[in-house]
A = this chain, B = another copy of it.
Amino acid sequence: MALHSGLLRDQACLIVHGPDQPGIVAAVAALVTRNQGNIVSLDQYSSDPVSGDFFQRVVFNRPDLAAAMPAIEADLEKTLAPLGLAWTLTDRSVPKRMAILASTSDHCLLELLWRHRRGELPVTIPMVISNHTNTAEDVRSFGVPFFHVPSSGPDKSAAEAELLKLLDGNVDFVVLARYMQILSPDFLDRVGVPLINIHHSFLPAFIGPAPYRKARERGVKLIGATSHYVTKDLDEGPIIEQDVARVTHAHSAADLQARGAYVERAVLSRAVQWHAEDRVIRHGNHTIVF
């Protein structure tokens, strides 16, 4: 679990993605081997062996990885481009930079900060941004900078401009930890990094606001939470992870919300960890999770 420890030094993660065809696994494995890599784990998926899409995640150890990265990347380009395959290679000793956007609720926010402090999330957290100030002291007690960007009134453009200024160039992805503002399409166009959201229902049930109230009204026997990448279609982005908890007729909407909080923080944490570990590949409106 010591994700920041020396064990990940000289460890690379390679993602390969493109049209399936015979010999990809052999080509990639040979490439790793001739670049002095030792494969630690390997996952693959093909949407269809015949003319489907192929996805692969390979983790390998390689002494002096940082120095070797340019040569490996050149080899990847030379080997995989002719096959029409896209690839990304990451040095696992370099943590991703994760910003967290929050509102008044603290359950998802604190869970991420605490898991990070335990060394379970391979990220740095350069900033938490909230449109409220109630969590500032807690956030800073974890040694993480807190910025307050209020978001009142119907025109969010000033707030979004301030968000962009803070995020620009400083982060690799953004987590919306129960951030109760809808981000504009313009913001999403300009932010330039993936955003991960937690929706407090089992999507596609109860899209939109007040899902716990709707769940109570429908009389469901399970409530859920869904973590997904943010797209311009609200609550319609690719799902990364979901989970549920059992409820009964005796639970009020407030009870559902209280119980749901524990599902939300668990689901979001798993989605964030998997994203940070390069386990999630987006494919249209789906995700491949290795």
- Residue numbers of A with Cβ under 8 A of B are 1-2, 22-26, 28-30, 32-33, 36-46, 49, 61, 107, 110, 114, 118, 120, 137-138, 141, 202-206, 218-222, 224, 238-244, 248-250, 254-255, 257-258, 262, 266, 285-289
**Beta-carbon nearest neighbor of A31 in chain B:** B26
Q: Are A250 and B40 interface neighbours, CB within 8 A?
A: no
Contacts of A289 in B (CB 8 A): 221, 248-249
Q: Copy number of this protein in the oligomer?
A: 4
Asked if B30 and A285 make an inter-chain contact with CB atoms under 8 angstroms apart, the answer reads no
**Known A29-B29, A42-B42, A218-B204: A262·B258 in contact at CB below 8 Å:** no
Contact B249 A288 (CB under 8 A): yes
Q: Smallest CB–CB gap between A275 and chain B, Å?
A: 14
Nearest CB in chain B to that of A47: its residue: B249
Q: Which residue of B lies closest to A206 (CB)?
A: B204
Bound together, the chains give a CA A38 to CA B287 distance in angstroms of: 24
Are A286's CB and B32's CB within 8 A?
no
State whether A203 and B222 are in contact (beta carbons under 8 Å apart), knowing that A26-B30, A110-B114, A244-B244 are contacts in the complex.
Answer: no
- Residues of chain B contacted by A285 (CB below 8 angstroms): 218-219
Look across to chain B and name the residue whose beta carbon is closest to the beta carbon of A257: B1
Closest residue of chain B to A288 (Cβ to Cβ) is B249
A sample of 21 cross-chain residue pairs with beta-carbon separation below 8 angstroms, ordered by A number, consists of A1-B257, A22-B37, A22-B38, A23-B38, A24-B39, A25-B32, A26-B29, A26-B32, A26-B39, A39-B44, A40-B46, A43-B43, A45-B249, A110-B114, A219-B239, A219-B287, A220-B242, A221-B241, A222-B242, A249-B287, A249-B288
A202 close to B222 (CB less than 8 A): yes
Inter-chain contact B219/A286, CB cutoff 8 Å: yes
Q: CA of A197 to CA of B29 in the docked complex: distance in angstroms?
A: 38
B219 touches A249 (CB 8 A): no
Q: How far apart are A186's CB and chain B's nearest CB, in angstroms?
A: 26
